[in-house]
Each structure stands twice: as C-alpha cells, then as structure tokens.
Structure 1
C-alpha cells in the first residue's frame, strides 16, 4: 500500500484553495521552495501529476481533486481527535462569543446550545447572528471565539471543520408555472429567472451562484431575512431559493411547492475559528455536543 504523508495532503488542499503554490505555502507557514519540494516528492512517490502549473497559478489535476476529496474526511477526523483532547484538558472560561449564519442560528444552534448548557450550566453565551461573510469577519477579528457558516467552499483565513450538511430548495407559489413542472429546472433557467434570494455575502447566495455558474441575471427581491423570503413567496411574488429546513412546513402544507432542479443544491455547515489556532474550551465543549 502506498503511504501518503498528512502534511503533503494538507499542502495539496491548500494549493486547491489558494490557487497557487506560493499562496498555499503562505497559508501553511512554509517557504515556497519547501512547498514545491514536498509536492514533487508526493507526485514522485505516487507516480501521478497532481498539480498543473501555469503562469497564472496552479490548478489541481483530476487525480489531485480526487486525492483532496479523499483527504478532507481524514482532516475532519484529526480535528475531532484534537478537539476531544482539548475537551479532556478542560477550561474555566464561563463566557463565549459565538457568531452564526442565520440558517444555522434559527434551525440548529438552539439544540446545540441546549446540549452545551446541560454540560456547562454556568456558561454565558454571547450570540451574534449575521450572514456567512459577517461570521468570518467576526472570527478573523477575534470578536467571536467560534463561528458557524454555510458556504460551499473552504473559507480563507480561518480553520474550519464540517459539522453537517444542508440542502437548498427551489420553491414556488402554487399558481406559478414552475409549481406544475415535472422536468428539472436547468441551471440556465434558474440563473435567468427573477427569484427571491438572500443577499450577497450569505452562504445561500454563494451556493446558488456557484451552482448556476455565475451571478444571477434577474432578481425579484433580495433580503437578509429568510422569513421575508418565505413570506414573499407565499404572497405569490416569485419562486425562491432557501434552506429546505426553512420551508419544510410550507411544502408539507402545500402552500409552497418544491420544484425539481438540475443537479443538487447542497452545502456544508462549517465551524470556523482563527487561522493557526486550535479552539479552546468552552468552544471545544460546543463542538463535542455537535459531534454527539
């Protein structure tokens, strides 16, 4: 069996996320020559070309992308081991600042916090609810000890751990032509339709635009409120794209109709904390509650 070093895998993921070997080296705190040497050693050991080097940067080959996909669950498992060790070491802080995206704050965080309070009854939580961009800013600047976002790609400038998954749903008022549609709505149709959507900077918007291959060309309404989006769709304004969790009751009641789409609108839920650091209690306690 061919052995692959964990540090080499981390480098490969960093190249994918940074778009260049120099950027990956900066992220990992090593020199560019050292990063290039590590990459060459891994490619020679495996007998594979993992990175296509270009003047404008570096892109992973098909083999490189496959290796990254297999490596990420390993990194998540290593993160959980480290967090578990930190939780065993323990901590005495009775305050914690948390920043969370709206979908997570409304649908998941209440149960997580309840579980945490059963472990740490003395804990006082300071919760800030914003979009994913705002969460990342709060974590990077130290205003939040830990954050939770829903962006499709690995965010830059922070450490992250996937803690769950979410499906987005395209829903339409019963009177809209799409409500009776059986054929999936194509990416091109979705991009060109006037939709009710979340604002730029939200994980929902980023996931949708990545799915359709670029910025939306027509918008009926955009807002930072999921409730306002659902209300506008119920009022017959236009189809909307929101978390399937948020519209489950309306779809079940038949007041909104889930419309089939081409491909899957799926995104990860991620815990994030400052780059180069490891979360400390009570953040580790919260992560332990989430992982069960």
Structure 2
C-alpha cells in the first residue's frame, strides 16, 4: 500500500503522469495502473484527468492530506526499527521558521553532515504556523520555531535565545541621532514587517506593546531578505534578529537604532510530535541543545 500512496502523492504534486513517472523512475503505464488500482481500493475516483492537466477532486484532496501523514508515520516506523541495529542514518525531515532556517540552520546541517554523513536531511522553510502544522501532521520529524502556534499536542523545548534590533538605512534621519530614539518618533515611521503567522511578526507586535507604540503605517513582506532590501532603500524601519542582520550591519548597509529597552528578546524552540525518536533525530536534537554556534551574545 505504501507504494500506491507514493505514486498517488507524486501524481498529485506533479499534476502530470509523465513527470510523476520520471520522478519515480517508472513507466507512465505503470503509474497509471497504480493509480487505477488505488482508486479501486478506495472506491472512488480521486483525480480529474484531461489532455492538459491532472488535478485532485474533493475526495482526492482528502486522501492526499492523509496519505502524506500516513507515509510520514510509515517512514518514522521503519527508521525506528532500523535504528535498533544500525547507527544514526537515514532520512531526517527538518522544518524551520525563516530566521532560524535561513541564517542559523545551514551551519548546523553542515556540522551534522560532518559528524553523521549517513543522515539524509531534508529541510523545509516556512513561517511558524506552517511548520507547526506540518510537524503535527507527521510531515516533518522536527520543527524549529520562534513564535507561538495553536497546536497543543506537540512537544516543545526552548533551546536558545535570540536578540532583535530595530534597524534602518545609514542615511535615515533616526540613524544619525546622538541621543536615544523616542517611542513617538518610532510611531511616525513606516514599519516593514513580516506576514501574520510569522514569528518575527509576532515579536514585532510584542515589541510595539513593550515600548508603547501603535505605528501609523506598515508594509508587509513574506520573507526577511526583501525586508532588508526595503529598509536599505530607505522605505522604512524594521525589527530583525541579530542573525539576520550580521552581514548588513558589519558592512554598514544597515544600522541598529539606539532605542531604550532594546534589544528585544525572544526564544527559539524545537517541536516534535512522536514520543519516539530515531537516532538521526536524537543526534540532531543534541546538536541544537549543545551547539555553541547558536549561543547568543547575552548583553543587556
């Protein structure tokens, strides 16, 4: 049955029998036969076909959602059994929210590969809400997040702190002030912020409360890199993690503003669903807990 699920998921995601067959290293007739047998087992048609597309119908959407979860559980089960006799190896699906995933995780993955070359990491980057949902549905073995999430059935462990700073272009009037920037001045600025569901957006809104401001204008971006570009271009100011701005501050493309009460502090946490851990997951968690590269500079 797991092969039928794999073929069905590939067709659903590729939206094309030929591309799915290529990915699975199968012939197109073989893929078509698997899909036909799978639909007969389920008892209804799951895909709408035409000369131009293959797409899920309503029943197909339901089956696709649960098929992803079932295959995730199957992979975890097989890996746990293999771990009883083998060293840490095999697939490890890691999810991370944008700040950690883009600026910290690559170094940890490099360290993991150096120590355990037989582990096969697969990384997904998304906002905190998306990562939590995928861990909950067993699509990810572990998620690393920087904000709160709705799912209550996940195991959560804080493993590191993060310091966040308000940054601006070096040419911005506030960047040239000798005295601390007042809250009232910050309130008048255009804020460049992440989308709802992002840990950085949540931290920004918490900081607004902490320093007592309600900005009059905000511009939303879906990732950190364009936010930095917008701030460098003088479109506004933003709150970002120390990890996200290291190079720009060092090169004087961005400057941190002198604001009383900052840096703003938040926490990185990892989340898991299953009470059982593969050896690959265990060693990765040990790296997160003990890694010196993510120790923060604890200045007050």
TM-score normalised according to structure 1 size: 0.62
Partner of 1:112: 108
How far apart, CA to CA, are the structure 2 residues paired with 1:105 and 1:190? 29
Q: 264, 274, 277: which one pairs with 2:275? A: 277
Q: Specify whether residues 134 and 187 from structure 1 end up closer, same or farther in structure 2 by C-alpha distance, changes over 3 A only.
A: farther
Q: 239, 242, 251: which one pairs with 2:240? A: 242
Instruction: Point out the more displaced range, 128-137 or 89-98.
Output: 89-98
How far apart, CA to CA, are the structure 2 residues paired with 1:201 and 1:104? 15
Asked if structure 2 preserves the Cα contact closer than 8 Å seen for 1:171 and 1:241, the reply is yes
How far apart, CA to CA, are the structure 1 residues paired with 2:213 and 2:137? 28
* Secondary structure of residue in 1 paired with 2:243: coil
How far apart, CA to CA, are the structure 2 residues paired with 1:220 and 1:147? 29
Distance apart, 1:191 and its partner CA:
5.2
* Secondary structure of residue in 1 paired with 2:279: coil
Instruction: Point out the more displaced range, 235-244 or 87-96.
Output: 87-96
Report matched runs for 1:135-214 at 5 Å.
Answer: 135-151=131-147, 156-185=152-181, 190=186, 193-213=189-209
How far apart, CA to CA, are the structure 2 residues paired with 1:185 and 1:285? 45
Distance apart, 1:255 and its partner CA:
2.4
Look at both structures and tell me which one has the larger radius of gyration over its CA atoms: 2
Structure 1 gaps of 5+ residues are: 1-86
Q: Specify whether residues 90 and 198 from structure 1 end up closer, same or farther in structure 2 by C-alpha distance, changes over 3 A only.
A: farther
Partner of 2:54: none
Asked if structure 1 preserves the Cα contact closer than 8 Å seen for 2:128 and 2:149, the reply is no
How far apart, CA to CA, are the structure 1 residues paired with 2:177 and 2:94? 42
Instruction: Point out the more displaced range, 104-113 or 277-286.
Output: 277-286
How far apart, CA to CA, are the structure 2 residues paired with 1:193 and 1:168? 18
* Secondary structure of residue in 2 paired with 1:161: strand
TM-score normalised according to structure 2 size: 0.61
Q: Specify whether residues 121 and 99 from structure 1 end up closer, same or farther in structure 2 by C-alpha distance, changes over 3 A only.
A: same
Q: 248, 251, 275: which one pairs with 2:249? A: 251
Q: Specify whether residues 161 and 99 from structure 1 end up closer, same or farther in structure 2 by C-alpha distance, changes over 3 A only.
A: same
Distance apart, 1:126 and its partner CA:
1.8
Q: Specify whether residues 89 and 200 from structure 1 end up closer, same or farther in structure 2 by C-alpha distance, changes over 3 A only.
A: farther
How far apart, CA to CA, are the structure 2 residues paired with 1:263 and 1:278? 42
Distance apart, 1:89 and its partner CA:
9.7
- Does residue 233 of structure 1 match 2:241? no
How far apart, CA to CA, are the structure 2 residues paired with 1:118 and 1:126? 16
How far apart, CA to CA, are the structure 1 residues paired with 2:127 and 2:156? 16
Report how many residues are paired. Answer: 205
List per-residue Cα deviations over 1:19-39 (Å, max 9, x = no partner): xxxxxxxxxxxxxxxxxxxxx
* Secondary structure of residue in 2 paired with 1:246: helix
* Secondary structure of residue in 2 paired with 1:200: coil
List per-residue Cα deviations over 1:109-156 (Å, max 9, x = no partner): 112112222332122222110011111111111111100011279974
List per-residue Cα deviations over 1:221-244 (Å, max 9, x = no partner): 211221101111111111122112
Q: Specify whether residues 244 and 105 from structure 1 end up closer, same or farther in structure 2 by C-alpha distance, changes over 3 A only.
A: same
How far apart, CA to CA, are the structure 2 residues paired with 1:186 and 1:125? 46
List per-residue Cα deviations over 1:220-278 (Å, max 9, x = no partner): 4211221101111111111122112222222222222210223231111111112x725
Partner of 1:95: 91
Q: Specify whether residues 169 and 154 from structure 1 end up closer, same or farther in structure 2 by C-alpha distance, changes over 3 A only.
A: farther
